[in-house]
Amino acid sequence: MKQSSIDALARTGISMEELNKVSASLQIKLERDNRVCVCGHGMNRHSTAAGIVSCKPSRMKCLCKQVRPILTCNNTRPFMRKTEGSGSSHALMQGIRKAIELGAEVEWIEEPVCDFCKEVATVSPHTVTQLGSIALRETGYNVMICPACVEVNS
């Protein structure tokens, strides 16, 4: 190390040993959360403060109002899409599509159940209003619904 660098460090009052300790502690890998929320974004993109949920998957902000993990994936990076509507336009479905494209493993945390009729069924993600009717745009309220309940509530 050059003498000028050592002199510059000396003027901070912090030793090289102290810097090395901090550097070593930063190298420790934190356990990765491989769960995905019903909003279609990784759980590590959510935070909750004073009961208010915040979801920030990338440069955009998701309107997610309730954290609810439903899937696991060994690569949550594909789950950073924007919800453009329900079904195939939902961020969750676009994330699953991209994860499959990349060869990632996607699994349900629990058996899929329709949030409306509570039956174990084939379900897809939908954005709904506070009153539970299917919305045409992102509302922050996301549910998994079977085809029969989609038909009744459209």
d(CA 85, CA 57): 17
Domain residue spans of the chain:
1-30, 35-153
Q: Is 140 left (phi over 0), alpha (psi -120 to 50) or beta?
A: left
Q: Print pLDDT tens along the chain (154 aa).
A: 577 788 888 889 898 888 888 887 777 665 789 999 999 999 999 998 888 899 999 888 999 999 999 999 999 999 999 999 899 999 999 999 999 999 999 999 999 999 999 999 899 999 999 988 899 889 999 999 999 999 888 7
Is residue 125 helix, strand or coil?
Answer: strand
Nearest by Cα to 126 from 107, 146, 109, 99:
146
Confidence (pTM): 0.78
